[in-house]
Structure 1
Amino acid sequence: MIVTRFAPSPTGYLHLGHAFSAFNAWRRARDVGGRFLLRLEDIDPTRCRPEYADAIQEDLAWFGLDWDGPVRVQSQHLPDYSAALDRLAERGLIYPCFCTRADIAASAAAPHGPDGAPLYPGTCRHRSPSERADRIAAGERFALRLDMTAANRPNLDYEEEEIGRTICHPEQFGDVVLARKDTPASYHLCVTHDDAIQGITLVTRAIDLKPATDLHRLLQALMGWPSPAYAHHRLLTDDTGKRLAKRDKAVTLRSLRAEGISARTIIQRLDYQ
């Protein structure tokens, strides 16, 4: 049975890009009698708001999308992600990093990863256990990074719809952060964990997230989690060709509803853009 999901972060109201992604996942499941799940990725307490979480469910229901089972709210499952981090730590695959973002940005000739951020130069990777323990005991802030040198696996691949077997290169992300003090688990860890325990068989999401699949496939391999198939769809853009985004105040579903535009009209518009 096909199982898809829509997993927004409640940091604002849903816009047309979200609607397009949610409708894609919902239709892929419903067309073949499968299951469609809703997940709220609200790990970051500094940006996520309860009112947006409520609005997401309200807007999806108005849009005509139903989901199976209860909504999984990530902030209610922090022990799950801590347990996954503990498993990686037991195998020596993560380490504490005391560098700030400014430290990394200032690193000379730092290359950049697929997301455009500077790659971590590995400053803290070889610190001794005693130094790490002393700095943590002294109250220094730190993040937990994946030791890509130790963790990487050769010949990883995943199945991409309409393309087929796709080779992974997670090393291009460097030693990624898997947890911070203010964010107890990263998007990358949480999304792969939840896709596994929820039995997701097909991940449908926008093409801008495709590079992250390489890293997600590595985490799946390290943790013994199954690898779903992936289908990365096009991005919706505005009249200038710029992708729709919350930060740019993209038109929201609730503003369209307030204008009297029906869900059916929006669906027709999404189908034929």
Structure 2
Amino acid sequence: MTKQAAEPVDTTSISAHQRRKLDRSPGSQIVVTGILVIVAIYFLVPLYWVVIAATKTTGALFATNGFWFGGEFSLFSNIQQVFTYDGGIFVRWILNSVLYSGVGAVLATYFAAAGGYALAKYEFRGRQLVFGTILGGVLVPGTATALPLFLLFSTLGLTDTYWSVLIPSLVSPFGLFLCRVYAQASVDTALLEQARIDGAGELRIFHTIVLRQMTPALVTVFLFQVVGIWNNFFLPLIMLADQKLYPITLGLNNWRSQVDRLPEFYQLTTGGVLVSVIPLVIAIIVLQRFWRGGLTEGSVKG
């Protein structure tokens, strides 16, 4: 009986995913896992501290270990004070933040999708100049435009109104850039042409075909806008004077500024911070399935 020679492995029949899996050494897996653990700790430790701090009284907050429970468990009483203080002003701040971030994120995502799709799929003079201008807008921080916006809105008589915070939230240069890149890669031009041959108008094509194919990008832009608007502090600070128009970030800062005079505001601030994080966590948990769906859909395209 003769021994058969081992047949060489046909690397051309191995998928890209399998090749990456074969090339992945145990050492690289350990390094990547370690980096991910460090990043997770970096983001989760402040949240953990907020949860622990919200369960303590003002005295226990400074007299006990900041990373473990101590003294009387006062979470529910602290949360009750948060929602009842000053006639329930905190509820008003939450509703304001929901208005600013909800309406602003939805409209900003829609405008970004429309602009990104137009820049990706329509040929017109000056398209590259427009796209270059948008890239420049991505590099400009929001704090740099806050003062010019205040002067402009002051001239128009819109300061200290909902519009002064809501209108700037409708613009997302990064969202438009992301939508343009995603539309260029994922929206099939042949499918658009077929829809036009069938008699579909441009708006119908955009709403029934393009938006559906761009769902993962739209979810990403929406979440970025929600988090950005929800955590926005500087723009409301210079635009708003009426406490009833404050978003939750500005309201919490107003409470924090009074802790030297009234120490009980420590409990209000820590409890309010904990409550303010919950809507963002819920939004990420609910919308992450769209990311998984988009990644899966892209992996089976051939």
TM-score using structure 1 length: 0.24
Q: Which one has a larger percent strand, Structure 1 or Structure 2?
A: 1
Q: Which one has a larger percent helix, Structure 1 or Structure 2?
A: 2
TM-score using structure 2 length: 0.22
